[in-house]
Homo-oligomer: A and B are copies of this chain.
Amino acid sequence: MAHDAGRTGGSFVISVDAMGGDRGPAAVIAGIEKSADKNPDIRFIVHGPQAELRRLIERRRGLADRCDIRHADGIVTMHDKPSQVIRSAQGTSMWSTLESVRQGEATVAVSCGNTGALMALSVLRLRKLPGVARPAIAILWPSHNPSGFNVVLDVGADIRADRTDLLQYAMMGASYARNGLGLERPRVGLLNVGTEEHKGRVELKEAQELIAAAAGPAGFDYVGFVEGGDFVGSRVDVIVTDGFTGNIALKTGEGTARLVGDFLKEAFANSIMSRFAALLAVTSLKRLQKRIDPRRVNGGVFLGLNGTVVKSHGSADATGVSAAIKLAFQLAQSGFHDRLAARLAQAAEQAADRAKDAPDEGASS
């Protein structure tokens, strides 16, 4: 059964690309150690130059027993164009990392490498799920929701999305919220410039009708159009948008949080009194930092492929890599991939049935 792919003796196997991140393999191995310490149920297949990885792993007590090393000489760099990578990536650590998932020896792949290249290679090697035209990257966005997050997709797999793509993003996002955030009946919204029915682009109005019609059978609630302010709000659990808009929103949000953090530091450095206050408040400030620290929610998940891939920030340090591995482990544990594939197959069947039984029903909102 596919469900057991990459599972050995009660533990889950995560395939980790040690190369291609901004901080090199040392940061990745340090992140693996953090995760290994916290969770005895994870095993790792680590991809990169064998001698270097062996040296890094053997320096850390007990880690060698938990890691298989797969030698790969080549590295996909941040500057490589995806179109070139798909022609020349064989032999790179990124290719090898995906290969472990493709062959079923690992459940989830994790990489800090070049996003565009990782997506292109993932599509090439893992292939898209039947009926999926455009895979998406989903992230967890800090919000006022009880779970602490909203799922947002697509944040940059593809700069285009037509109404059918947006419908699939809604289905996949709901599935991710169900398995990743433990929400039984996720609330899904479609990103627009206003919540009123008449606002926005024509393709959004068409997508809205499709998503509203699919919500019931697919086990989620459709709440309508949502706005940029809802990313941090509690009106929805899943926000659906095209990859262009989602990518810009993501980087805008990260930038704004960083700016406010910088202003906060400056405010506290302002006077002797405030520096003393900062000392007293150090625990609270650390708590705050932890809540807004992008490293703690590190990991975009590639959805719509035959296999799960977690993309970590390129600049991830040990804490960031460990967060990405934790997410990969959670998704492996919940059997997320098989559930998602089953949902999409079921939806495709239902859509086909509806088209056969009542050709005009799909247009009702």
Contacts and interface: CB of A to CB of B under 8 A. Distances in A.
Interface of A: 81, 142-144, 156, 159-160, 191, 193, 198, 200-201, 227-233, 241, 243-245, 247-264, 267-268, 270-271, 273-274, 276-281, 283-285, 287-288, 291-292
Nearest to A79: B196
A281 B277 contact: yes
A71 B306 CA distance: 67
B255 A231 contact: yes
Contacts of A201: 159-160, 244
B283 A274 contact: yes
A198 B243 CA distance: 16
A270 B282 CA distance: 12
A362 to B, nearest CB: 25
A347 B276 CA distance: 56
B229 A252 contact: yes
A249 to B, nearest CB: 5
Contact of A267 (B248, B280, B288): B288
B263 A274 contact: no
Q: Which of A201, A227, A243 has the largest count of B CB atoms less than 10 A from its CB? A: A227
Contacts of A274: 280-281, 283-284
B156 A193 contact: yes
Contacts of A261: 260
B231 A256 contact: yes
Given A142-B259, A228-B253, A270-B283, 10 more contacts: A143-B259, A229-B254, A232-B255, A232-B259, A248-B248, A252-B252, A267-B291, A273-B280, A277-B280, A278-B281
Given A159-B201, A262-B144, A280-B273, A193 B229 contact: no
Given A159-B201, A260-B261, A284-B268, A229 B255 contact: yes
A232 B248 contact: no
Contacts of A230: 255
A233 B256 CA distance: 10
Contacts of A252: 228-229, 231, 249, 252-253, 256
Contacts of A249: 228, 248-249, 252
A274 to B, nearest CB: 4
A273 B198 CA distance: 51
A191 B255 contact: no
Nearest to A268: B284
Q: Which of A260, A262, A276 has the largest count of B CB atoms less than 10 A from its CB? A: A260
Q: Which of A259, A263, A278 has the largest count of B CB atoms less than 10 A from its CB? A: A259
20 contacts: A142-B259, A143-B259, A144-B259, A193-B243, A193-B248, A228-B247, A228-B255, A229-B258, A231-B255, A233-B255, A245-B245, A249-B252, A253-B256, A267-B288, A271-B284, A273-B281, A277-B277, A277-B281, A277-B284, A278-B281
